[in-house]
Amino acid sequence: MTKALPDHVRKLVAEIETEIGESDEAARAAPIEGSGIRRANGRSAGLAAGRIEEAVRDILVEIGEDPAREGLIGTPDRVHRMYAELTAGYHVDPDRLVNGAIYDEDYSEMVVVRDIPFYSLCEHHLLPFFGTAAVAYIPRGRVIGLSKIPRIVEMYARRLQVQERLTQQIADFLDERLSPQGVGVVIEANHLCAVMRGIRKPGTVMTTSAVLGLFRSRDRTRAEFLGHLARRPPGA
| Separation of alpha carbons 7 and 46, rounded Å | 9
Q: Which of 91, 181, 191, 224 is catalytic?
A: 191
CATH architecture of 3-94: Orthogonal Bundle (1.10)
Residue 76 CB neighbour total at 10 angstroms: 20
Q: Which residues does 47 contact at the CB level (< 8 Å), separation at least 6?
A: 3, 5, 6, 9, 37, 80, 84
Q: In sequence order, what E strands does the chain have? A: 3-4, 31-32, 37-38, 102-104, 111-122, 128-138, 142-144, 160-161, 182-191, 206-213
Judge if 3-94 and 100-230 fold alike in CATH terms.
Answer: no
Q: Which of the four pLDDT bands, split at 50, 70 and 90, describes residue 47?
A: low
**Alpha-carbon gap, residue 121 to 106, rounded angstroms:** 39
Which pLDDT value is given to residue 49?
61
CA distances from 136 to 113, 185, 213 (A): 6, 6, 12
Query: Which pLDDT score is estimated for 212?
Result: 98
Catalytic residue among 25, 33, 124, 164: 124
Determine the Cα–Cα distance for residues 79 and 55; give it in Å rounded to an integer.
Answer: 10
Range among 37-41, 184-188, 196-200 with highest mean pLDDT value: 184-188
Q: With the C-alpha atoms ordered 144, 149, 153, 155, is the resulting torsion angle positive or negative?
A: negative
Range picked from 19-33, 45-59, 122-136 for highest mean pLDDT? 122-136
Contact 38, 2 (CB under 8 A): yes
What is the CATH architecture of 100-230?
2-Layer Sandwich (3.30)
Is the overall model pTM greater than 0.75, yes or no?
A: yes
Give me the mean pLDDT over the 50-60 stretch. Answer: 95
Does 191 participate in catalysis according to the annotation?
yes
Decide if 91 is catalytic: no
Residue boundaries of the structural domains of the chain: 3-94, 100-230
Helix (H), strand (E), coil (C) string for 109-151: CCEEEEEEEEEEEECCCCCEEEEEEEEEEECCCEEECCCHHHH
Query: How much of the chain exceeds pLDDT 70, in percent?
Result: 85
Selected catalytic residue, list 22, 54, 105, 123 = 123
Report the alpha-carbon distance of residue 226 to residue 218 in Å, rounded. Answer: 13
Catalytic residue among 65, 85, 125, 188: 125
Say what the pLDDT of residue 198 is.
85
Return the pLDDT at 27: 42
Instruction: Clarify whether 228 is annotated catalytic.
Output: no
Kindly report the number of other CB atoms within 10 A of residue 211's CB atom. 20
| Distance between CA atoms of residues 133 and 167, nearest Å | 8
pLDDT at 48: 60
Task: Please identify which of the residues 17, 53, 122, 154 carries the catalytic annotation.
Answer: 122
How confident is residue 231, by pLDDT bands cut at 50, 70 and 90? Answer: confident
**72: DSSP letter:** G
| List 163, 169, 181, 224, catalytic entry | 163
